[in-house]
Amino acid sequence: MKRLKEATSSRHAALESRLPLLDADMSRARYLQFLQLFWGYYEPLEAQLQTLPYWPAINFDYAGRQKTPRLLQDLHALGETPESIQSFARCQHLPTLASKGQLLGCLYVIEGATLGGQIITRHLNSNLGLTPLTGGAFFDGYGAQTGEQWKAFCAMLRANAGESAQHDDILASANQTFETLDQWLFPSYPTPKGGTP
Ligand code: HEM
């Protein structure tokens, strides 16, 4: 876990610094734009996750952790319709998910994001007056259960990390998940340092 955190920390920092979600002047319209972009990344990613054959092997129930339903709830709360949502662009350059290790690396990034989400949730509430019921469900993640859910995820990851050859797969995939999301959200920025592994 320590290696994973260290190996991805520069990409995490880059993404965190570019996201305007904690800016004092972030408007509702700008927030909605980011929700649309997150939907455009998570919808095709989670559709792909559902088709993977590695779930029984890692023994992890992702069903209740899906982020797309939370994004849909927020988009509807902020006035989008099923028709408008279907017209949003979807990311075409998703991380490669062709092994158990690659799935674990990708899950590390999307589950870890719920930790930062807790800070964003407080900000959305104080700045835009949003609650999880009125447009802030995605960043609220698992609400009060977020810490517990993260611990359970980490336990699963440790149990499945296996031999060191797989560790490289996990690290590379975590970095690729950060990079593909970063490129999707901020296409005009250069590819983060280190390039795609
Ligand atoms: C403004 C945006 C964000 C903020 C303020 C933020 C903040 C944080 C904080 C405070 C933690 C816990 C710190 C710790 O335990 O050391 C964390 C962990 C994490 N965040 Fe973020 N984050 C943001 C966006 C993201 C995004 C967009 C992703 C990925 C999609 C992400 C992925 C992760 C991961 C994987 C971890 C777990 C690190 C570990 O303990 O191994 N974060 N973030």
Average pLDDT by stretches of 10, the chain with 197 residues: 95 96 96 98 98 95 97 98 98 97 97 97 97 98 97 96 84 97 91 52
Has this prediction a pTM greater than 0.75?
yes
Give the position, in ligand 1's atom list, of the atom nearest the Cα of 111.
Answer: 35
The residue whose two tokens read 């092997």 is: 57
> Does residue 64 sit within a domain?
yes
Inside any domain, residue 191: no
Residue 158 within a domain: yes
Mutate to test the pocket of ligand 1, among 2, 8, 10, 16 (most ligand atoms within 8 A of CB): 16
Domain range spanning residue 11?
A: 2-185
Q: Is residue 32 part of a domain?
A: yes
- Domain-located, residue 194: no
Q: For residue 125, is it within any domain?
A: yes
Query: Residue 77 is part of a domain; what is its CATH number?
Result: 1.20.910.10
Closest CA to 194 of 181, 174, 175: 175
Residue 197's pLDDT is: 46
Q: In sequence order, what are the residues at sequence separation of 6 or more whose Cβ sits closer than 8 angstroms to the Cβ of residue 31? A: 21, 124, 128, 130, 135
Q: How many domains does the chain have?
A: 1
Please tell me if the CB atom of residue 5 comes closer than 6 angstroms to any atom of ligand 1. Answer: yes
